[in-house]
Amino acid sequence: MLRALAVSAVMALAATTACQSNSTSQPTSSSSGAAITVFAAASLKSAFTEIAEQYKTDNPGSSVEFSFAGSSDLVTQLTQGAPADVFASADTRNMDKAAQAGLLSGNPVDFATNTLTIAVAPGNPKGIKSFRDLTKPGVSVVVCAPPVPCGGATQKVEQATGVTLTPVSEESSVTDVLNKVTTGQADAGVVYVTDAAGAGDKVTAVSFPEAARAVNTYPIAVLKQSKHSEAAQRFVDLVTGEPGQKALAKAGFAKP
């Protein structure tokens, strides 16, 4: 009889301990103070950095870490398991790749558009006035690699105009193209209007009408792997809402 009582007591204690363990190990549904990681196209650096400050003000204790790079590189990193909560692409093609890989938790939302321009040295010493002028003898041109959104857009312009560029290099992000121009390593680079605007007096922007044939639409989405999906969604909502749209417009982006 005493042995039976002892066994019962041990079993009751074990059950109580298990219940307590389960109750303390349950993940909290609160995302207050969450640290989220955003993978974003390089051209978004200025606008998203400003938006992140607003996000931290709206969500005390929260933080936003960014990885800015060419959208194609970001998709490759994500498909290889890189941890992130939000993905913002400079085109729909790379977002589609993320969707096909099963990386998204829902449908992406378009939040901005961007258009190409030609960035040249201040004062335009080579006299570049059109897209075709990029083929003039003695003009060194840098573009984005074809898999990168700005590279894909450049190819569209080439097809539309019948002009084939012979770049001295093809870069993995639009910021790398801009850097080649600002450091004097190239005479001209095909970049986004937002990048040329952000460079200020370091470059002169030369617009060309054919750019209207290759407008890039930017989508954003929460990633399925996110451990802070509510916090990630709040960032997406901020980008697509009025505060985010104001910051994007300030940087030179147009509405989607």
Q: What is the pLDDT of residue 32?
A: 58
CA-based angle 119:155:125, to the nearest 5? 25
The closest alpha carbon to 225, from 103, 44, 62, belongs to 103
What is the distance between the alpha carbons of residues 235 and 230, in angstroms, rounded to a whole number? Answer: 9
Asked whether 109 and 219 are in contact (CB, 8 A), the reply is: yes
Taking residues 34-43, what's their average pLDDT? Answer: 97
Res. 1: pLDDT tops 60: no
172 annotated to a ligand binding site: no
Q: What is the pLDDT of residue 24?
A: 36
Q: Could you give the strand order of the β-sheet that contains 216-222, starting from the edge strand earlier in sequence?
A: 63-69, 35-41, 86-88, 216-222, 109-114
55 annotated to a ligand binding site: no
| 31 vs 218, more confident | 218
Report which residue type is found at 16. Answer: T
What is the distance between the alpha carbons of residues 166 and 174, in angstroms, rounded to a whole number? Answer: 17
The pair phi, psi for residue 71, each rounded to 5°, is -60, -35
Asked whether 90 and 150 are in contact (CB, 8 A), the reply is: yes
Res. 110: pLDDT tops 80: yes
The closest alpha carbon to 203, from 133, 139, 119, belongs to 119
Tokens of 148: 């990168």
Residue ranges and CATH numbers for the domains of the chain are: 35-113+218-251 (3.40.190.10), 114-213 (3.40.190.10)
To the nearest whole number, what is the mean pLDDT of the chain?
A: 90
Query: Per residue in 115-169, pLDDT tens?
Result: 999 999 999 999 999 999 999 999 999 999 999 999 999 999 999 999 999 999 9
Taking residues 25-48, what's their average pLDDT? Answer: 78
Q: Residue 33 — pLDDT band, cuts 50, 70, 90?
A: confident
Residue 180 to residues 96, 170, 176, 193, Cα–Cα distance (Å)? 30, 11, 6, 16
192 annotated to a ligand binding site: yes
Q: What is the pLDDT of residue 106?
A: 93
What is the distance between the alpha carbons of residues 110 and 218, in angstroms, rounded to a whole number? Answer: 6
Query: Per residue in 197-214, pLDDT tens?
Result: 999 999 999 999 999 999
67 annotated to a ligand binding site: no
Res. 256: pLDDT tops 50: yes
Residue ranges in 26-126 assigned as alpha helix (H): 45-58, 71-79, 92-100
Asked whether 45 and 176 are in contact (CB, 8 A), the reply is: no
For β-strands 216-222 and 109-114, DSSP reports them as antiparallel
Q: What percent of the chain has pLDDT over 70?
A: 88
Chain position carrying tokens 């959104």: 149
Tokens of 207: 């617009």
Run of H or E including 38: strand 35-41
What is the distance between the alpha carbons of residues 150 and 194, in angstroms, rounded to a whole number? Answer: 12
Q: What is the pLDDT of residue 92?
A: 97
What is the distance between the alpha carbons of residues 184 and 119, in angstroms, rounded to a whole number? Answer: 12
Query: Per residue in 68-103, pLDDT tens?
Result: 999 999 999 999 999 999 999 999 999 999 999 999
Residue 5 to residues 11, 13, 40, Cα–Cα distance (Å)? 10, 12, 63
